[in-house]
């Protein structure tokens, strides 16, 4: 699948942009803070239906403007498709969002998901294995949403319940103790039910990623490294077993019971901290290389190989799932990789995968990339083909 | 603005209505200006009269000018089944079917800590009192299948289950006359869960 063109209006620092891309490599070169990442963000927006950055919807609209529009025509194996997303600033700073697929309007992002497939690899992704757990959860959740829209529904419902429970814990309702306890118990029941579904789904997704990541890691690192992504379920019971093969054997109903019991024992602490402390929104992933957790043991190089392996696994997983090659977005990341890893990544580009690359300096990129590539200059919200 | 002051005020007031934006509000205000004087006073009077006379019923909290309301006062209705709904509008929807012959109980909302609505803010206490006197045999929870709805149902079930009543919740699934292939996944799953034996 490949993007023919992208049209932006009042998107971040782009007043207006209409740009045609090639189905091979597209290089975007520009100094810092000129809009390279913003451009990639607009493509991710069209792919996911929301920004991949942790920002408010309002931030996507240029300063002093009331609406923003992002549109693309892209080619998949069967036909040419059109995606358009509009954000309109409403009174009291709310944003009205509308989504168009081939001209037909939708109110939610759900139908957009899985249309334009992208895999993005940013320089900050290199921190994934060392960063806060939230980044790892988001990575898994976003991928799971792309693979199955049912997950999006489960995820959204779960988030709603957590928001309600947190609000209950914070506000302590007129401190009527009986009804407070009863409401809390009701939310715990719901978290157990919906959370168990969520965990089951995550495990299923993780299982598939694991199959791919192991192969891709061996391809990159000359050493025969062994990679497993493990799921860490947050539990107040320290001795509870948490490895993947054990968790995979637990049924959804058993998970619901485990979660419910954990919440019962943590209840006092949750009330004290005014936060829900148990559930999949607190879980984490652990990357294990050769039976050692990467966080404490892996070298910088191993971390990089690990992340690269994950991204390539993502690429392969989506390709097998949708029988389409996703578009690869590389944000300032090639310069961070050594020659072997660059070669591995670039070999993918030559396997007819459309790639959009941003960099500060063209000399950071391997020379053989320029054959047939489109090169663009990014300068303060304007992009020109050179 | 371009509007003269009383007109601007009226447009402002109309904008407070749900689903009414600035343009609709302007259209409504000009419509009012073009009405004959007696119709305008009649409109104003109905608004005030409605607000003064329509109050929640003392038994079921359905909005009515009578107290007890028309439904509670109707002796031909069965006191043994009680239908619990979130809102007076739900009563109207159910009444239109002319199928349900029991009484209602309006909760006046659903539990949602985010919106600052706890069980105390709903007519749950009144519901318990009402069913404790023994004439009710079945409670039908006609509450939306949303997160807030599910929460409220679980909460009510907690309080009501020891009273030895039959507690049911209305079925969820495919809209009648619709097509299986058009239904979304979540609805289909719910419909499968709520399947029944063919008799």
Chain-centre distance of CA B194, in angstroms?
24
A190 touches chain B (CB under 8 A): yes
Name the most confidently modeled range: A147-156, A214-223, B42-51.
B42-51
Q: For residue A239, is pLDDT > 60?
A: no
Other CB atoms within 10 A of residue B67 CB: 13
Quick one: tokens of B44? 């104003």
Q: Give tens-digit pLDDT for A94-133.
A: 889 999 999 999 998 888 988 999 999 988 888 888 889 9
Residues of B in contact with A176 (CB under 8 A): 118-120
A198 touches chain B (CB under 8 A): no
Alpha helices by DSSP H, chain B: 5-15, 22-34, 37-53, 70-73, 88-96, 124-132, 147-160, 185-193
- Whether residue A173 and residue B118 make contact (CB cut-off 8 A), yes or no, is yes
Structure confidence at residue A173 (pLDDT): 56
Residues of B in contact with A150 (CB under 8 A): 185-186
Q: How far apart are CA A128 and CA A172, in angstroms?
A: 36
Q: Give tens-digit pLDDT for A340-361.
A: 788 777 777 667 789 999 988 8
Residues of A in contact with B114 (CB under 8 A): 163-164, 167
Quick one: tokens of A172? 């302590």
Contact A284, A234 (CB under 8 A): yes
Structure confidence at residue A386 (pLDDT): 81
**For residues B8-23, average pLDDT:** 92
Structure confidence at residue B89 (pLDDT): 94
Structure confidence at residue A350 (pLDDT): 65
Alpha helices by DSSP H, A96-176: 133-147, 149-171
- Give the chain A residue nearest B118 (alpha carbons): A173
- Whether residue A168 and residue B120 make contact (CB cut-off 8 A), yes or no, is no
Q: How far apart are CA A348 and CA B61, in angstroms?
A: 67
Structure confidence at residue B72 (pLDDT): 92
Residues of B in contact with A165 (CB under 8 A): 113
The confidence band for A136, taking pLDDT boundaries of 50, 70 and 90, is very high
- Whether residue A164 and residue B118 make contact (CB cut-off 8 A), yes or no, is no
The confidence band for B81, taking pLDDT boundaries of 50, 70 and 90, is very high
Task: Tell me the C-alpha to C-alpha distance, in Å, between residue B1 and each of B5, B7, B8, B148.
Answer: 9, 11, 8, 42
Q: How far apart are CA A275 and CA A236, in angstroms?
A: 15
Q: How far apart are CA A144 and CA A154, in angstroms?
A: 11
Task: Tell me the C-alpha to C-alpha distance, in Å, between residue A269 and each of A88, A272, A273, A274.
Answer: 42, 5, 6, 8
DSSP state of B174: P
Q: How far apart are CA A288 and CA B34, in angstroms?
A: 76
- Whether residue A176 and residue B118 make contact (CB cut-off 8 A), yes or no, is yes
- Whether residue A157 and residue B148 make contact (CB cut-off 8 A), yes or no, is no
Residues in B whose CB is inside 8 Å of some CB of A read 111-114, 116, 118-120, 147-148, 150-151, 154-155, 158-159, 185-186
A2-117+324-385 is a CATH 3.40.50.300 domain: yes
Q: For residue B28, is pLDDT > 90?
A: yes
Q: Percentage helix, strand, coil, to 5, in chain B?
A: 50, 10, 40
- Give the chain A residue nearest B151 (alpha carbons): A186
Q: Give tens-digit pLDDT for A244-289.
A: 888 888 899 999 999 999 999 999 999 888 899 999 999 999 998 8
Structure confidence at residue B1 (pLDDT): 60
Which residue is listed with tokens 């509000």?
B25
Domain limits, CATH 3.40.50.300, in chain A: 2-117+324-385
Q: For residue B25, is pLDDT > 60?
A: yes
A88 touches chain B (CB under 8 A): no
Residues of B in contact with A153 (CB under 8 A): 185-186
Closest Cβ–Cβ partner in A150, A165, A168 for B185: A150
- Whether residue B158 and residue A186 make contact (CB cut-off 8 A), yes or no, is yes
What distance in Å separates residue B118's CA from the closest CA in chain A? 6
Other CB atoms within 10 A of residue A93 CB: 9
Phi and psi dihedrals of A378, rounded to 5?
A: -105, 120
Residues of A in contact with B148 (CB under 8 A): 164
Residues of B in contact with A161 (CB under 8 A): 147, 151
- Whether residue A179 and residue B112 make contact (CB cut-off 8 A), yes or no, is no
Q: Give tens-digit pLDDT for A279-327.
A: 999 999 999 888 888 888 888 888 888 888 899 899 889 999 888 899 9
Residue range A133-296 forms a domain whose CATH class is mainly alpha
The confidence band for A237, taking pLDDT boundaries of 50, 70 and 90, is low
Residues of A in contact with B147 (CB under 8 A): 157, 160-161, 164, 190
Residues of B in contact with A173 (CB under 8 A): 113, 118-120
Quick one: tokens of B110? 């659903």
Phi and psi dihedrals of B81, rounded to 5?
A: -115, 135
What distance in Å separates residue A258's CA from the closest CA in chain B? 19
Question: What ranges make up the beta strands (E) of A178-280?
Answer: 227-232
Residues of B in contact with A179 (CB under 8 A): 118-120
Which domains occur in chain B, in start order? Answer: 5-53 (1.10.8.420), 78-169 (3.40.1360.10)
Q: For residue B29, is pLDDT > 70?
A: yes
Quick one: tokens of A314? 């993502």
Whole-number average pLDDT of chain A: 87
List of residues 6+ apart from B176 with CB closer than 8 A: none
* Interface with B, mutate which of A145, A158, A164 (most B CBs under 10 A): A164
Closest Cβ–Cβ partner in B113, B120, B147 for A168: B113
Closest Cβ–Cβ partner in B119, B151, B185 for A164: B151
**For residues B97-112, average pLDDT:** 93
**A&B contacts, CB < 8 Å:** 58
Q: Residue B131: which region, alpha, beta or left (left: phi > 0; alpha: psi -120 to 50)?
A: alpha
Q: How far apart are CA A308 and CA A220, in angstroms?
A: 8
Q: Residue A332: which region, alpha, beta or left (left: phi > 0; alpha: psi -120 to 50)?
A: left
**For residues A16-35, average pLDDT:** 91
A163 touches chain B (CB under 8 A): yes
Report the share of chain A in percent with pLDDT over 90.
41
Q: How far apart are CA A217 and CA A223, in angstroms?
A: 9
Quick one: tokens of A48? 């996911």
DSSP state of A326: P
Q: For residue A218, is pLDDT > 70?
A: yes
Q: Give tens-digit pLDDT for A28-73.
A: 999 888 999 999 999 999 998 988 887 888 899 998 899 999 999 9
Peptide bond into B68 cis (omega under 30): yes
Closest Cβ–Cβ partner in B113, B158, B185 for A164: B113
The confidence band for A233, taking pLDDT boundaries of 50, 70 and 90, is confident
Give which of A378, A275, A355 is closest to A8, Cα–Cα.
A378
Contact A277, A266 (CB under 8 A): yes
The confidence band for A7, taking pLDDT boundaries of 50, 70 and 90, is very high
What distance in Å separates residue B158's CA from the closest CA in chain A? 8
Quick one: tokens of A105? 């309007």
Q: How far apart are CA A365 and CA B148, in angstroms?
A: 53
């Amino acid at each position: 699948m490949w993007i023919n063109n992208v049209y932006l209006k009042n998107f971040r620092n782009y007043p207006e942009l209409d740009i045609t891309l090639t189905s091979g490599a597209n290089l975007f070169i520009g100094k810092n803070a000129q809009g390279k990442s913003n451009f990639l963000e607009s493509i991710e927006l069209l792919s996911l239906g929301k920004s991949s950055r942790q920002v408010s919807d309002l931030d996507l609209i240029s300063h002093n403007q009331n609406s923003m529009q992002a549109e693309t025509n892209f080619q998949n194996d069967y036909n040419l498709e059109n995606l358009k997303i509009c954000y309109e600033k409403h009174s009291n700073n709310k944003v009205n969002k509308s989504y168009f697929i081939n001209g037909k309007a939708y109110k939610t992002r759900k139908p957009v998901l899985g249309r334009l497939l992208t895999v993005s690899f940013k320089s900050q992704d290199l921190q994934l294995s060392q960063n806060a757990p939230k980044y790892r959860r988001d990575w898994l959740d976003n991928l799971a949403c792309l693979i199955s829209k049912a997950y999006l529904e489960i995820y959204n419902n779960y988030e709603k319940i957590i928001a309600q429970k947190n609000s209950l814990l914070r506000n302590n309702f007129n401190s009527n103790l009986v009804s407070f306890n009863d409401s809390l118990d009701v939310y715990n029941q719901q978290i157990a039910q919906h959370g168990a579904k969520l965990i089951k789904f995550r495990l299923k997704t993780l299982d598939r990623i694991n199959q791919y990541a192991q192969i891709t890691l061996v391809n990159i690192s000359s050493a025969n490294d062994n990679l497993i992504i493990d799921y860490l379920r947050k539990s107040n019971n320290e001795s509870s077993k948490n490895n993947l093969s054990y968790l995979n054997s637990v049924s959804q109903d058993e998970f619901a019971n485990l979660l419910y019991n954990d919440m019962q024992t943590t209840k006092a602490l949750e009330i004290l901290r005014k936060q829900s402390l148990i559930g999949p929104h607190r879980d984490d992933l652990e990357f294990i290389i050769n039976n050692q957790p990467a966080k404490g043991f892996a070298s910088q190089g191993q971390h990089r190989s690990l992340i690269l392996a994950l991204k390539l696994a993502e690429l392969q997983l989506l390709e097998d799932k949708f029988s389409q090659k996703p578009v690869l977005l590389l944000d300032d990341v090639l310069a961070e990789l050594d020659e072997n890893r660059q070669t591995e990544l670039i070999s993918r580009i030559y396997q007819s995968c459309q790639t959009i690359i941003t960099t500060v300096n063209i000399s950071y990129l391997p020379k053989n990339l320029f054959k047939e590539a489109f090169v663009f200059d990014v300068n303060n919200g304007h992009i020109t083909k050179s | 603005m371009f509007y003269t002051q009383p007109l601007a005020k009226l447009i402002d007031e109309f904008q407070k209505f749900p689903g009414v934006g600035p343009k609709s509000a302007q259209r409504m205000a000009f419509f009012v200006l073009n009405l004959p004087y007696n119709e305008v006073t009649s409109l104003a009077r109905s608004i005030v009269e409605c607000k003064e006379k329509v109050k929640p019923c003392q038994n079921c909290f359905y909005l009515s000018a009578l107290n007890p309301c028309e439904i509670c006062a109707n002796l031909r209705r069965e006191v043994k089944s009680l239908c619990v709904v979130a809102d007076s509008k739900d009563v109207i929807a159910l009444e239109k079917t002319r199928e349900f012959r029991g009484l209602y109980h309006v909760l006046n909302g659903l539990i949602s800590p985010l919106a600052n609505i706890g069980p105390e803010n709903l007519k749950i206490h009144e519901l318990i009192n009402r069913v404790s006197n023994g004439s009710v045999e079945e409670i039908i929870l006609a509450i939306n299948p949303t997160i807030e709805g599910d929460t409220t149902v679980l909460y009510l079930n907690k309080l009501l289950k020891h009273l030895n009543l039959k507690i049911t919740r209305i079925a969820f699934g495919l809209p009648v006359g619709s097509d299986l292939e058009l239904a979304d996944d979540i609805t289909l799953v719910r419909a499968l869960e709520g399947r029944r034996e063919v008799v």
